[in-house]
Amino acid sequence: MFEITGARHIDRREHLLIPRVPVPKQPPEQRVFNFHEVYLGYNEETVKIEAARCIQCPEPQACLTACPVHNDIPLAMWHTARGDFEEGYKAFRKNSTMSEVCGRVCPQERLCQGSCVVGAYEPPVYIGKVEYFLADWMRKHDKMPALLEKEQQAPTGRTVAIVGSGPAGLHAAEMLALKGHHVDVYERHPKPGGLLMYGIPDFKLEKDKVKGIVERCERAGVRFICNTAVNTPGNPYVEDLLYEYDAVLIAIGAEIPATMGTEGEDTPGVWKSLDFLIALNLPEEMYPPGLERPDIEGKTVMVVGGGDTSSDCVRSAVRAGAGRVILSYRRSEAEMPGREEDRGFAKEEGVEYEFLTQPVRFIPGPDGRLAQVELRRMKLGEPDKSGRRRPIPIPDSEFVTDVDIAVLALGFWPDDKFAKATPGMETKRWGEIKVDPETGMTSRIGLWAAGDAVNGADLVVTAMAGARKAADSIHQYLLALSKEYEELGVEPPKPPEKPSGLELGCAQTFIVTTPARKPVKLDRIF
Ligand X SMILES: Cc1cc2nc3c(=O)[nH]c(=O)nc-3n(C[C@H](O)[C@H](O)[C@H](O)COP(=O)(O)OP(=O)(O)OC[C@H]3O[C@@H](n4cnc5c(N)ncnc54)[C@H](O)[C@@H]3O)c2cc1C
Instruction: Give the max Cα distance, the chain.
Output: 78
Please, which residue, 109 or 374, has the CB nearer to ligand X? 109
Q: How far is the CB of 190 from ligand X (least distance, A)?
A: 10
Please, which residue, 246 or 255, has the CB nearer to ligand X? 255
Find the binder of ligand X among 418, 440, 442, 470 (CB under 6 A).
Answer: 418
Query: Segment near ligand X (CB under 6 A), from 14-22, 48-56, 139-147, 159-167?
Result: 159-167
Q: How far is the CB of 107 from ligand X (least distance, A)?
A: 6
Measured CA to CA, the distance from residue 471 to residue 479 in angstroms comes to 12
- 71 scored as a contact of ligand X (CB under 6 A): no
- 375 scored as a contact of ligand X (CB under 6 A): no
What is the enclosing helix (H) or strand (E) of 148? helix 144-151
- 230 scored as a contact of ligand X (CB under 6 A): yes
Q: How far is the CB of 108 from ligand X (least distance, A)?
A: 10
- 163 scored as a contact of ligand X (CB under 6 A): yes
Find the binder of ligand X among 68, 88, 124, 194 (CB under 6 A).
Answer: 194
Please, which residue, 21 or 230, has the CB nearer to ligand X? 230
Measured CA to CA, the distance from residue 25 to residue 489 in angstroms comes to 62
Total residues at the site for ligand X (CB under 6 A)?
Answer: 38
Measured CA to CA, the distance from residue 133 to residue 44 in angstroms comes to 9
Query: Segment near ligand X (CB under 6 A), from 23-31, 40-48, 433-441, 446-454?
Result: 446-454
Question: 137-144, long-range: CB within 8 Å, 24+ apart, which pairs?
Answer: 137/44, 137/85, 137/89, 138/85, 138/86, 138/89, 139/100, 139/212, 143/86, 143/89, 144/216
Query: Segment near ligand X (CB under 6 A), from 81-89, 191-199, 289-297, 440-448?
Result: 191-199
Find the binder of ligand X among 128, 169, 264, 391 (CB under 6 A).
Answer: 169
Find the binder of ligand X among 47, 238, 242, 252 (CB under 6 A).
Answer: 252
Please, which residue, 277 or 303, has the CB nearer to ligand X? 277
- 463 scored as a contact of ligand X (CB under 6 A): yes
- 203 scored as a contact of ligand X (CB under 6 A): no
Alpha carbon of 497 to those of 159, 248, 338, 494: distances in Å?
Answer: 11, 17, 45, 8
Measured CA to CA, the distance from residue 412 to residue 33 in angstroms comes to 29
- 458 scored as a contact of ligand X (CB under 6 A): yes
Identity at 310, one-letter amino acid code: S
- 105 scored as a contact of ligand X (CB under 6 A): yes
Give, as ranges, the residues between 3 and 62 that touch ligand X (CB under 6 A): none
Q: What are phi and psi of 260, to 5 degrees?
A: -105, -20
| Residue 321 falls in which region: left (phi positive, over 0), alpha (psi -120 to 50) or beta | left
Find the binder of ligand X among 168, 280, 419, 470 (CB under 6 A).
Answer: 168
Whether residue 60 is preceded by a cis peptide bond, meaning omega within 30 degrees of 0, is yes
- 475 scored as a contact of ligand X (CB under 6 A): no
Give, as ranges, the residues between 269 and 288 that touch ligand X (CB under 6 A): 277
Measured CA to CA, the distance from residue 268 to residue 271 in angstroms comes to 8
Task: List 405's β-bridge partners, or say none.
Answer: 301
Closest by CA position to 482, among listed 249, 157, 155: 157
Closest by CA position to 248, among listed 91, 486, 422: 422
Q: How far is the CB of 128 from ligand X (least distance, A)?
A: 11
- 186 scored as a contact of ligand X (CB under 6 A): yes
- 103 scored as a contact of ligand X (CB under 6 A): no
According to DSSP, the β-strands at 399-402 and 256-257 are unpaired
Binding site for ligand X (CB under 6 A): 105-106, 163-169, 186-189, 194-195, 199-200, 204, 229-231, 251-253, 255, 277, 308-309, 312, 418, 451-453, 458-461, 463
